[in-house]
Chain A
Amino acid sequence: MNRINFSPKSYIFTFFFALLIVPFLSHRVWGDPLVTDAEMAKYLQFYASITHLDVDFKQTKTLVDMGINLKSQGHLVLDRPDKVVWQVTQPSALTVRLDKTSVQIQTGSGPDAQVQTLSIGDGQTSADTASNSLAGLAAWLTLDNKALSAQYRIYKKDRDSFRFVPKDRKTSPFESLEMTLNTSGHLRALTIHEISHDTIQIDFMTPKLSRK
């Protein structure tokens, strides 16, 4: 059996190779790089000046342990600074209206419509997980750079993908959220990882916008 002899050159080569690979590995092993406020502001520039957004979406909620994929589709209307209407059209009509203080859930339509109003408090974490979760989503969907940076640690995954991890994990209904922007900067996909380990994958179409 021949013994391999390393030359000094190969030691030097290995040393430089290691220097190069450590940052790459650290990115993969120890997490995505943190995104600063200023960087995030740049990424969300598309939304900085809009007052109204109207977009269709398709969604799949995966209940992992039950092996169920709940498919739905609908329509999102965002009126800045804080009004969100989340309208599900399929499999059944459902409208969720959210503002700073309440969540209104309307099931059905016309005379059969049933409305349930829930209070979420002014900027407070509700005692109710479901209301809290909807309020958390509404706050996120406003895509206010400052508010997002205050509530989440933001990591860059890929060129246009970001991961949002709640700073206060005890009260947050989400484990994390993942956002993908398209080339023009608008929200293309959102993945919500809930504390129940269920995942919601939302794909957004091209939005209709009104700017300041």
Chain B
Amino acid sequence: MKFKVKTLSLFFLILMGLSPNLTQAASKSESGWFDRSHRIFFPKDGQETVALSQSFPAFWWNFVVLDLKENDFSAAHQLCRKLKAMTPNPLLRVECNQGLNDLESISRDWAQDLPLRTDRPSDAWIKSAFDSDLAQASLPTGDRTWLKFLQSDPLQSWRELLKLVENRIKIKLERKNGFFYDSESHRIIIPVQAAFNPAEIQKTKQILAALSDFTPKMVWVGPHESTLRNQEQVMQDLNAATHAGYVILVLLGGALLWLKRWQLLLLFPPVFVAVSGGAVVTVLVFGSIHGLTLSFGSGIIGLALDYGFNAAFGNKIQARNTWRSNWIGVATTLVGLFVLMQSAIPLLRQMMVFSAVGLSTGFLVFRFLFARYPDVLITRPFGVSFSPSPIKTSIIFILLASSIAGFFILRPNLDMKQFDFEDAKNQQTDQWLFKTLAMRSPLFTVNEGDKALIASQKEKQWAAQNGIAIETLANYLPTENEQSSHLMTWITGQTDCRRSPSMFPDVEMRFFSGFIESSLCKSPTRLKTLSAFSEARSYTQHLSAEGKWLTLWMPTDDGQELKIRQNQPTAHSLREALMAFPNILAKELSWMAPLSVFLVLIILLFYYRKLDPSWIALIPFFSGLGLFSLTAITFNLSVSFISVIALVMSFGFSFDYAIFAVDHYVKERTNGVWGAISSAAAATLAGFVPLLFTNHPVLKHLGQALCLSTLGCYLGAVWGIPGLIELRENLKKPRLRS
């Protein structure tokens, strides 16, 4: 039996080692139950616009920055040629060395829809336009691209479209040799619009691989490269953390075997059961589970190990008391989770449901296993004890003071920009670009499909009255009534080309046959309005996503921006939209954190029936907070809302340590309590320490806050609680004497 249990323990140790790989594999899978979207960060009302902002091609612009050797543009031309070879897919537009061929890609449908925008010109005007086209067609143009362009747009409507397109890109830099050029830094900027969502990182990877020859001198700045860079860094970090995790796991397993406590390895499988249970319920409730829920939530569920350690180091006689304390531990954690479940942020709600279900499952599984197999699972205590000393208590006081100081000194940075992982070169180029272009962030509004054109017309009119530049659907298409009125002039002007003699000479008839047949001759199928907008049009595709239409407002000063915001209350910048998550989180935590502490205090009061042990049970949490604050203030660590989330997680496990430590003094003195707390803290740290080996700000902040707060909580439990209880008793003694 002993051998079998030992073998089983080793098997589970291997299973634990595989678990990070399994999680990574799940995150890479394309299963419907696994969610990786950004929507989950935002409350329902703000969710759509923010999520959609990634879908509108108007937001898929990037900047390619190339360092030139003095005034040598040869590399710039090579780069431009290479980029243009990638149009129209994977790149929609490349703004360099604009030529006649570039117009062809944007004016496909524009020329075809001319009858919707203007009245039919006179025959003389059409004849003169044809002559002009034929003169241009006579030029040597290499291939047929330009000729086909002239044939498809003989009335030269592309000129109007070109003006609209040029208005979209407002860069205050001189154009030299066909490039936006900064003479001070000898750099060129090529605006590049991708034909795909930034989330499709494989496509970005392929583009960057194709441009690898230019890499030393070229930097790609924009949403696509940033998404790729961050995802690659996170994957790299997770690999590093996994490897560090293996080493720690081997050390932990080795330590348990060396200490002849291999039974403790059997406590890990129930955690996997708990995580699986939580995941299944989450998928059933929400339809899918987000990658962040799975990784962060599993960390919280992992705290169920604490209940296992407490029970394993207890004894059969005291089992009832142990499980009562465990029950209070799980209740205090669940209270925190339920409070956070009230958040407007779907991610937090999902994470808390997952954690609460997982934690409860873990608790119940442990309860069952220890009731059924106590002989297998209960082990000898380590015999660790912590006697209070003035130095230890002083350290705890310093930590408690630091936690108070932290409230006043530390201000979490809510800016999402800090989570954009950049190397020195990228950062320097990004800053230079921001300074050089000095572009104001445009504001955006979104209109619904059917009413989009009417709403867009109103926006256009208002913007024109106030002298504000606007990029909207109405710039490209008149209202349905106007379209019909224009169309009528074309329909009434049509002739039966088969019967009546042609008004154009033979060359014109043959060269412009497509246009003549579709627009000037009677045709039963052609010429209809675009009211329903069922057909995708190449000239408006940058403004369209999922049946919604984007309007971009481009204010030039604060006054214009204020006017837009007053007239369009839903208008906001992309940055503001992205800031919604940390802002809501900060606002919610400002009431959720005190409420959680208050509710936990009530549970503790109910449990201890006294005030003193109840507030002493808060010491580990505040020690953890204190150690984090002290380190952050001393070493100037960056504190973000991710750090705050980590501290919320530490709030959960701090009470597991606290209750057993306080119970040791106020309820029943047990031998195994300190070993259980130490084992639980060691297991928690073993899970979080690998995050210290990462470089991405999100994982780094999480690792720092979790490791420091765990250590602080542990010190608060093993040094703080004994010390403060002794201090309390010493203070009571003189009073009793008196």
- Interface residue ranges, A against B (CB under 8 Å): 59, 61, 63, 66-72, 86, 88, 90-94, 96, 101, 105, 107-108, 114, 116, 118-122, 124-134, 136-137, 173-174, 192, 194-196, 198, 200
Using Cβ atoms and an 8 Å threshold, which residues of chain A touch B98? 118-119, 128
Which residue of the partner chain A has the closest CB to B102?
A128
CA distance A131 to B84 in the complex (A): 14
A197 to chain B, nearest CB (A): 9
Known contacts: A88-B138, A121-B178, A128-B97. The answer to whether A173 contacts B143 by CB under 8 A is: yes
Tell me the complex Cα distance, A66–B144, Å.
12
Within B146-185, the residues touching A (CB, 8 Å) are 146-147, 156, 159, 175, 177-179
Main secondary structure of the interface of B (DSSP, over half): helix
Asked whether, in the complex, the Cβ of A196 is within 8 Å of the Cβ of B134, the reply is no
Known: A88-B135, A118-B98. A70 touches B507 (CB 8 A): yes
Let me know if B97 and A126 touch, CB within 8 A: yes
* In-complex Cβ contact of A200 among B73, B77, B140 (8 A): B140
B140 and A72 form a contact (CB under 8 A): no
Among residues of B, the one whose C-beta sits closest to the C-beta of A70 is B138
What are 23 A-B pairs at a CB distance below 8 A? A70-B137, A70-B507, A72-B135, A91-B131, A92-B131, A92-B135, A107-B136, A116-B100, A118-B178, A122-B73, A127-B80, A128-B97, A130-B145, A131-B97, A133-B139, A133-B140, A134-B139, A173-B140, A173-B141, A173-B142, A173-B143, A196-B144, A196-B147
Contact present for A61 and B97 (CB under 8 Å): no
Q: Measured between C-beta atoms, what is the minimum distance from B146 to chain A in Å?
A: 4
Least Cβ distance of A85 to chain B in Å? 13
Bound CA span A91–B177, Å:
32
Measured CA separation A90–B101 after assembly (Å): 24
- Chain B nearest CB, measured from A109 CB (Å): 11
Q: Is B44 at the interface (CB under 8 A from chain A)?
A: no
Docked-complex contact A94 and B135, CB < 8 angstroms:
yes
> Is B99 interfacial (CB-CB < 8 Å)?
yes
* Known interface pairs A63-B147, A91-B135, A128-B97; A121-B510 also in contact (CB < 8 Å): no
Query: B255-285 vs A: 1/0 string, CB under 8 Å?
Result: 0000000000000000000000000000000
Please judge, given known A-B contacts A68-B507, A130-B100, whether A96 and B139 are in contact too, CB under 8 Å. yes
Q: Could you tell me the distance in whole angstroms from the C-beta of A122 to the nearest C-beta in chain B?
A: 6
Q: Which chain A residue has the least Cβ–Cβ distance from B80?
A: A127
Q: Which residues of B contact A91 (CB under 8 A)?
A: 131, 134-135
Flag whether B81 is at the interface (Cβ < 8 A).
yes
Contact A195 B142 (CB under 8 A): yes
Q: Is the CB of B142 within 8 A of A194?
A: yes
Q: Tell me if B538 is interfacial: C-beta within 8 Å of chain A.
A: no
Q: How far is the CB of A104 from chain B (nearest CB, A)?
A: 12
Residue in A closest to B179 when the chains form the complex, CB atoms: A119
List residues of B (356-402) whose CB comes within 8 Å of A's CBs.
none
Q: A129 to B100, alpha carbons, bound, how many Å?
A: 8
A117 to B507, CA, bound (A): 28
Of B96, B99, B134, the residue contacting A92 (CB under 8 A) is B134
Q: Smallest Cβ distance from B20 to chain A, in angstroms? A: 47
Q: Is the CB of B177 within 8 A of A66?
A: no
CA distance A106 to B146 in the complex (A): 16
- Measured between alpha carbons, how far is A107 from B96 in the docked complex, in Å? 23
How far apart sit A156 and B526, CA to CA, in the bound complex (Å)? 54
Q: Is B428 an interface residue (CB 8 A)?
A: no
Q: Is B313 an interface residue (CB 8 A)?
A: no
Tell me, rounded to whole Å, the shortest Cβ–Cβ distance linking A78 to chain B: 16
B511: interface (CB < 8 Å):
yes
| 6 shortest interchain CB distances as A-B pairs | A128-B99, A119-B178, A173-B142, A133-B142, A92-B131, A129-B142
Bound Cα distance from A69 to B101, whole angstroms: 23
What does the 1/0 interface line of B108-139 toward A look like (CB < 8 Å)?
Answer: 00000000000000000000100110111111
Interface contact A130-B77, CB-CB below 8 Å: no
Instruction: Given the known inter-chain contacts A119-B97, A127-B99, A173-B140, please indicate yes or no for A68 contacting B135, CB distance below 8 A.
Output: no
